């Protein structure tokens, strides 16, 4: 596999972005925090929040010692704030079960709240140099194009994808860990979803999708995520008011933030059900 591995690894050595969670001094906690934050959120938005988070809570114990509402407040505008609750719960579990140290095995990482297959494999690989198949959207897109000639991966990870990824995973642990992040970076910077820069790809001559003439995706419709006027936007607007307040917020301020009363009440109820806010009479707080 050196004909595939070497070009990608050499490209990564020359073009990898300088990110704090990739520094040799980065702690496993930094890697775990970054992985939770990067779910559905671009790197540019994550960078400042990740830095502030690690400055305030440099270890899981620091975060676990504070109320979960503070994690939600510090999450800021990253979106999908339930991830903040999961990260807080993961910190508490790390303190309770693993003496405050992020576990180094895939199986133990899977026991943490909010950690699924991808995150467990990514943290074990990136933080501890373990050999695992790491399948995020970028990796799946690169391998699907290069190995199978598919423009886009299926909506969820398939057995065939996992087998393809396993077949090309380097045997050496350290090399496999670098390979995982290198393919991810290639998908983020070159083999992008909308405008792939094939002329800059280190494995363009081996790409099955390119060789086939770039056949268009023919799977189920790929739907973009709507935002304007959705419950997601409403929830975000309400959360912003609560996050920017030091204490309880009266309902009247939330009424101004979102004028549609039915949608506002529905979103307040869902935020409460998700454990993101607390209500007492006509006041609300994180």
- Tens digits of per-residue pLDDT, 99-108? 999 999 999 9
Share of the chain above pLDDT 70, in %: 98
Band (pLDDT 50/70/90 cuts) for residue 223 is low
> Tens digit of pLDDT for each residue in 32-61?
999 999 998 999 999 999 999 999 999 999
pLDDT digits (tens, 9 = 90+) for 168-204: 999 999 999 999 999 999 999 999 998 999 999 999 9
Residue with the bigger pLDDT between 225 and 286: it is 286
Gap between the Cα atoms of 257 and 131, Å rounded = 48
Tokens 């991830």 correspond to what residue? 83
- Give residue 113's pLDDT: 94
Residue with tokens 């609750």: 85
| pTM recorded for the entire structure | 0.86
Q: Give the angle 149-154-155 at the CA atoms, nearest 5°.
A: 155
117 vs 139: CA distance, rounded Å: 14
Domain boundaries, the chain: 2-128, 137-211, 231-285
Burial class of residue 197, CB neighbours in 10 A (0-12, 13-18, 19+)? exposed
Average pLDDT of span 234-239: 91
What confidence score (pLDDT) does residue 228 get?
83
- The CATH number of domain 137-211 is 1.10.1670.10: yes
Whether the Cβ atoms of residue 146 and residue 206 lie closer than 8 Å to each other: yes
Identify which of 137, 162, 161 has the alpha carbon closest to the alpha carbon of residue 39. Answer: 137
Does residue 262 carry a pLDDT above 90? yes
Write the CATH number of the domain with boundaries 231-285.
Answer: 1.10.10
- Compute the CA torsion angle 141, 144, 146, 149 (nearest 10 deg): -120
SS (H, E, C) 135-184: CCHHHHHHHHHHHHCCCCCCCCCCHHHHHHHHHCCCCCHHHHHHHHHHHH
Question: Is the pLDDT at 221 greater than 90, yes or no?
Answer: no
We find that the CATH architecture of domain 2-128 is Orthogonal Bundle (1.10)
User: Which positions are annotated as active-site residues?
Assistant: 35
Taking the C-alpha atoms of residue 90 and residue 120, their distance in angstroms, rounded to an integer, is: 12
User: Do residues 175 and 5 touch, judged by C-beta distance below 8 A?
Assistant: yes
**CB-based contact 61:100 (threshold 8 Å):** yes
User: What beta strand segments (E) does the chain contain?
Assistant: 249-250, 278-280, 283-285
């Amino acid at each position: 596999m050196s004909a595939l591995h070497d070009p990608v690894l050499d490209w990564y050595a020359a073009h990898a972005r300088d990110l704090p969670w990739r520094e040799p001094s980065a702690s496993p906690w930094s890697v775990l925090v970054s992985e939770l934050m990067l779910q559905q959120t671009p790197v540019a938005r994550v960078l400042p929040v990740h830095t502030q988070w690690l400055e305030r809570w440099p270890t899981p114990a620091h975060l676990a010692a504070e109320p979960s509402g503070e994690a939600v407040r510090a999450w800021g505008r990253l979106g999908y704030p339930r991830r903040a609750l999961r990260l807080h719960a993961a910190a508490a579990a790390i303190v309770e079960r693993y003496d405050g140290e992020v576990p180094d095995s895939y199986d133990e990482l899977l026991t943490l709240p909010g950690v699924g297959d991808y995150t467990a494999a990514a943290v074990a690989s990136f933080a501890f140099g373990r050999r695992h198949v790491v399948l995020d959207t970028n990796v799946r897109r690169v391998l699907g194009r290069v190995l199978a000639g598919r423009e886009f991966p299926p909506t969820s990870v398939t057995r065939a994808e996992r087998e393809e990824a396993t077949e090309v995973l380097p045997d050496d642990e350290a090399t496999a860990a670098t390979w995982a992040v290198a393919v991810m970076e290639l998908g983020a910077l070159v083999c992008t979803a909308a405008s792939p820069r094939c002329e800059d790809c280190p494995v363009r001559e081996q790409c099955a999708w390119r060789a086939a003439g770039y056949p268009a995706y023919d799977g189920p419709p790929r739907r973009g995520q709507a935002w304007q006027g959705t419950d997601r936007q409403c929830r975000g607007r309400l959360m912003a008011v609560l996050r920017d307040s030091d204490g309880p917020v009266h309902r009247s301020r939330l009424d101004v933030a979102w004028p549609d009363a039915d949608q506002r009440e529905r979103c307040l109820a869902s935020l409460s059900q998700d454990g993101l806010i607390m209500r007492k009479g006509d006041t609300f707080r994180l």
